[in-house]
Amino acid sequence: MRRWRLQSQLFTLCIALSCVRSAAGLIRVSGYEGREVQVSCPYGEGYESYEKYLCKNDCGSDDVLITTTEAKKNRYSIHDDKQNRVFIVTISDLRRTDAGKYWCGVTRTGKDIYTEVMLEVGRDSCCDHSAKVQRYEESSVSFSCPYESEYQNSLKYICRGNQPSTCLQHALISSDNKQKGQFTLTDDMASRKFTVTITSLTQKNSGSYLCGVHGNTGLDVFSAFELEVKEWCCVMSHKLSGIVGHPVTMQCPYPPQHKDNRKFLCKGDHRKNCKDMMTSQSRFMLQEDVASSSFSVTITELKAGDAGTYWCGSDSQWSVGNYTKIQLSLDFQWTRTVMSTINVVPTFTMVEPVRSQATPIPGKEIKDATLFYSVIFIVPAVLLILTFALVIVYKYKCYNVRGAGGNMNRNKTKTAETEEVISVSDIYQNQDVVYSKQRTSKQQSACQHHDDTGEAEQDSVYQNDTTTDDIYCNQISIIANRR
């Protein structure tokens, strides 16, 4: 029994030694966890019909992973390309424990033919250290990616994300294509680093990036970056309000190193399309305070059209942090007084602010407000005045009519005196008489003459006087006597 075991061990040792001696070379293969890798095993002419296999460790019977007699086994699959004399073994769902030594084998009588395979399995994430970079919209950024001298002639590239296994497939730009839209790649072989520049940044460019160097063997080498692109306009922004006709002052800080730079203030919705207010408007006064590294701009008399967005700064190149965004809004203030001559409508003083973010039409707000307050206060006042005047006229009419009736009935009996009350309808019928008595002094004297004379004289007046004035006066006497 011991003799058999010894012979078996010697046989295994012999096979192992023959494997090394028969090895045609070393095949290096690399892959990433969770992914798959392909092992290509070439063989010589004349072995097309022979059985091929992939084994691990010492290639014992239990170490054979798959043969060409079975197309697929567990995580392994095999394909024999007889035309190109190469068989390919695919290992899927790689694990870190899959790393190590393998053998490509061709079965033949006597000693099999073996080729050594070295598999490297890496993590499909990168990296332990990631350089963090911050930029602002519309600016540019450059990533500097170093590499070893052995990769001087290797392919360089950059991709988004942090998965090395798919980085090369989704490369944004590579050393084979050095210009691609926003991206530019330059390779400085003397300093052994390549640089990728991204221009016209937007917030969509934020995220993870990998600089990769593709080697002929083994895993690619990566450098990781984390880019954050901030909104350009949010560096420094203020809101300011003012009153039309009054002054307002804007404060604009600047970096100390810009004390000798030209300071500016422009107006517009966007900094790239704004009008320089210092050269076009005499109402804008600039005053610099070097000690506090700031300057102020005062608008001496605000106008309705001054509302809007302003930009002030000390760098004509619009570098981030060297400007201030100011949103100016305006209040429109006016006073209106309505007075009543009859003390029915009190005096009102209205102060009405109207805030506007947009540019209003000059004078329009004041015109509209004047019309509004005219309707609210003046019209009711006029109506009350007219009503009061009508009441006075009405009382005056009643007084005159009653006076005429009393004079005519002085000599009547007591029964007739109880009928002095004149109906309202009669008064309205005789309003023309009252008005006619007020129009001329002749009418008033005729009526007065009638009051002073007796009843006999009244009869003579009825008989002889046919003038319009006497008729009107006598109508009142007739109505009173009838009652």
CB 331 within 8 A of CB 355: yes
What is the pairing mode between strands 86-91 and 37-42? antiparallel
Residue-level pLDDT at 400: 61
User: How would you classify residue 128: left for phi > 0, otherwise alpha for psi between -120 and 50, otherwise beta?
Assistant: alpha
Q: Do residues 104 and 27 make contact, with C-beta atoms less than 8 angstroms apart?
A: yes
Residue 179 near residue 124, CB atoms below 8 Å: no
CA distance 299 to 254: 20
CA-nearest of 162, 251, 253 to 211 is: 162
Region of residue 98 (phi > 0: left; psi between -120 and 50: alpha; otherwise: beta):
alpha
Give the pLDDT of residue 389: 82
Per-residue confidence (pLDDT) for residue 371, from 0 to 100? 58
Angle, CA of 456, 462 and 463, to the nearest 5°: 95
Cβ(326)–Cβ(269) below 8 Å: no
Tell me how far the alpha carbon of residue 135 is from its chain's centroid.
Answer: 20
Between CA 131 and CA 228 the distance in angstroms is 11
For residue 137, what pLDDT is reported?
83
**Inter-CA distances, 344 with 213, 336, 382, 423, Å:** 94, 18, 10, 32
Listing DSSP states for 23-84 in one string gives ---EEEEEEETTS-EEEEEE--TT-TTS-EEEEETT--TTTEEEETTSSEETTEEEEEETTT
- For residue 445, CA distances in Å to 213, 251, 441, 448, 465 come to 128, 85, 6, 5, 14
The predicted model scores a pTM of 0.49
Alpha helices in 341-412 (DSSP H): 364-373, 379-408
Output the six-digit token pair for 336. 């209106």
Q: What is the per-residue pLDDT for 42? A: 95
Residue 2's region, left for phi above 0, alpha for psi from -120 to 50, else beta, is alpha
How far, in Å, CA of 68 to CA of 53, rounded? 6
Which pLDDT belongs to residue 452? Answer: 44
> What local confidence, expressed as pLDDT, does residue 171 receive?
95
Tokens of 274: 């704004």
DSSP alpha helices (H): ranges in 141-234? 164-167
Distance separating alpha carbons of residues 482 and 477, to the nearest angstrom: 8
Which residues of the chain fall short of a pLDDT of 50?
1-23, 335-366, 408-483
Question: Which domains are assigned to the chain?
Answer: 26-122 (2.60.40.10), 131-230 (2.60.40.10), 236-331 (2.60.40.10)
Q: For position 358, what pLDDT does the model report? A: 42
pLDDT given at position 380 = 76
Q: What is the pLDDT of residue 405?
A: 52
pLDDT score of 67: 95
